[in-house]
Structure 1
Amino acid sequence: MTTLSRLDALQLRASVGELADLLIDTVHSGASIGFLAPLDRRAAIAWWEGRTAAVSAGRLAVWVARGEGRLLGTVGLVFPDKPNSRHRAELVKLMVHRDGRGQGLGRALLKTAEAEAVAAGVTLLHLDTETDSPAESLYRSAGWTRLGAIPDYAASPSGELHPTTIFYKRVGAEAAPLGA
């Protein structure tokens, strides 16, 4: 059985080893999520430890999926700190371990982040993902709107430049069509 839960700062700090292992697996399986391969475990741990302050301050929310006694996936929402942008958030670092793929974990994490965004008063979500990646089809099938692509936006884990696709999704009351 898989459980999804939101981590507070203490839980995040206690989970950095597992989160680092997930990050390494994701990078080493070819996902372009901001890191180059090979990703050193110390660097992966340091990156996750660096998120603790943002979670403490409420600028970042992190959810994890656990199953079979281990961490299998994660997703985050970054909340802007400017007064004119508090209605939106960025979906970040949706990752599912190779052993957990194909079981609906990515979709479950995405739905959880969307629902929690609505509960937090967010009406607009946005994200970027490598163009033509498996993640792109997940977002499309989950009702996200493709805005466009930016060429040579980010390097893949192997260092090759790839385009990224920008998506957005209206959520909550703002997602309903006018007159509904």
Structure 2
Amino acid sequence: MILPPTLTQYRTLIVEGHEGLGRAHLMAELAHLGFEVRHMPPFLHHLDPALPYRELLAGPGRLAVDGRLVAELVYGPLRRGRSRVTWIQALDLAETVAERDGAMLHLTTTSGHARGAEVVEAATAYARAFRTLAQHVPVVTLDVGEPGRPIRAPASRPSQLWPNPGQLTVG
């Protein structure tokens, strides 16, 4: 897997979006680049979902976090009718990541897997969420595709998704 050179300019990366082998390969490659890879617990903190992120981001060094906060913004409303994460918490995280010379990585896939209604709704919700977050933190969109293929920009999207200098799609 060949990572875009733009990722090396960041000290902090929060990885959100598509789950699967492409994501696992990406996290392994980030570790090879010198990022300390951390995985968020599978369940959110019951009182303050952003607490584990704030604790991690307070530390030193290059950090890549396999996150779940944006996923809760996306899947909470789809599966439970509401999110346990507020937009204030998500925007606070985005600003903290930006202050730590970081970016949010929005993982997508154009693989040929069957696309159910929830998958399509989730992709739309992720795009909306990252469009909002890009106003506070750089967002890099990566297509993790099929295993063994290099990471690339999504083929069906333009190079610049939104008119925001912090939003970047890597090709």
Task: Tell me the TM-score range normalised by the shorter chain.
Answer: 0.3 to 0.5
| Larger-gyration structure (1/2) | 1
Structure ranking higher on relative contact order (CA contacts 8 Å, 6+ apart):
2
- Return the structure number with greater strand share: 1
